[in-house]
Amino acid sequence: MLKTRLLTALILAPLGILGVLFLPTDWFQLLVAILFLVALWEWTRLIGYRRYLTRSTMVLFNAVCMALLARVDLAPWLIPVMLVGVVWWVLALAWLMNFHFAERPGKTSKLIKTVAGTLIVLPAFASAVYLHGHVEDGRIWTLVLLGLIWAADVCAYFAGRRFGTTKLAPTISPGKTRAGLWGALLGSGVFALAAGLFFGLNALALFGFVCLSLVSVLFSVAGDLFESLIKRHSKCKDSGSVFPGHGGAFDRLDSLFAALPVFAVGKVLLGL
């Protein structure tokens, strides 16, 4: 399984980098929308929908919203939508501390998780559109965020394997350890420091950027845990099987869904 995961990552990572750097913004937005909508399609199954019409309706609704957010004349709406995403992920932290909330199957549970799916995907899409197409050096900033997530994932994996004894959230995700979390923060912190120096940030801005990066990584862990919680509720191991060794699109994007609005809003507030 490790070899399969590595092979898939070695294919996907260069493709992701090339896409961020060289795709025109319109095509980048389309690619991101497709990936996010595939993840949302998987989400509809995770939360208990079985009828294709119901699942398609939810995906279509979010696709229309994405198309509107991608319009240049609606760019002022991006930041409010991003802020909604930050608020959502703060609320999601409370949900993580109450494992059994909306656990039992039923209409109310489905409705709550349906709204959650939109609150996960749309602010992340708005943040990706904002970072890539509406800020100076947007392609580089987008790549920096991806680098932060990748650095955190890799360092968490190896730190967890080498030093992991105490579980981080055993009820939600037994495989995650506190050592893995510290490894993620250390690895992403070093990456953020190097990126800040590359951007030529002064000492104060560099400090703010590193702090923002660490907070974004913490929320990325929350995003990963939140999907694990929903998978526990639905008794599923993976959201899908799109990526060999990695599961579905949601499995690969859960960290990014949470980190995107936090990072983008933080960048706005810090004036970076």
Mean pLDDT across 211-231? 94
Give the model's confidence band at 1: pLDDT under 50 very low, under 70 low, under 90 confident, else very high.
low
Mean pLDDT across 24-39? 93
| For residue 264, pLDDT beyond 90 | yes
Question: How far apart are the two ends of the chain, measured CA to CA in Å?
Answer: 40
The mean predicted confidence, pLDDT, of the chain is: 89
* Cβ 246 vs Cβ 116: under 8 Å: no
pLDDT digits (tens, 9 = 90+) for 76-131: 889 999 999 999 999 999 999 998 898 888 889 999 999 999 999 999 999 999 99
* Cβ 134 vs Cβ 61: under 8 Å: no
Which helix (H) or strand (E) covers residue 169, if one does? strand 167-169
| Residues 190, 217: Cα–Cα separation, whole Å | 12
Question: What range defines the domain where residue 179 resides?
Answer: 2-270
pLDDT recorded at residue 19: 85
| For residue 30, pLDDT beyond 60 | yes
| For residue 242, pLDDT beyond 70 | no
pLDDT recorded at residue 3: 65
pLDDT recorded at residue 123: 97
| For residue 237, pLDDT beyond 80 | no
| For residue 9, pLDDT beyond 70 | no
Report residue 142 CA to chain centroid gap.
13
| Residues 159, 152: Cα–Cα separation, whole Å | 10
pLDDT digits (tens, 9 = 90+) for 160-204: 888 878 898 888 988 889 999 999 999 999 999 999 998 899 999
Report residue 168 CA to chain centroid gap.
19
3-state secondary structure of 2: helix
pLDDT recorded at residue 225: 93
Mean pLDDT across 232-256? 75
pLDDT recorded at residue 243: 53
Gyration radius (Cα) of the chain, Å? 18
Range 12-21, long-range pairs (CB < 8 A, 24+ positions): 12/243, 12/252, 13/150, 16/146, 17/143, 17/146, 20/132, 20/139, 20/142, 20/143, 20/146, 21/139, 21/143
Give the model's confidence band at 14: pLDDT under 50 very low, under 70 low, under 90 confident, else very high.
confident
Q: What is the DSSP string of 127-162?
A: HHHHHHHSSTTHHHHHHHHHHHHHHHHHHHHHHHHH
Alpha-carbon dihedral angle through residues 65, 26, 191, 8, given to the nearest 10 degrees: 90
| For residue 238, pLDDT beyond 80 | no
pLDDT recorded at residue 89: 97
Helix-helix angle 25-46:249-270, to 10 degrees: 130
| Residues 17, 149: Cα–Cα separation, whole Å | 13
Number of domains in the chain: 1
CA distances from 229 to 52, 59, 232, 237, 263 (A): 24, 22, 5, 11, 23
| Residues 220, 234: Cα–Cα separation, whole Å | 21
| Residues 207, 193: Cα–Cα separation, whole Å | 8
Give the model's confidence band at 67: pLDDT under 50 very low, under 70 low, under 90 confident, else very high.
very high
pLDDT digits (tens, 9 = 90+) for 132-160: 988 888 899 999 999 999 999 889 988 98
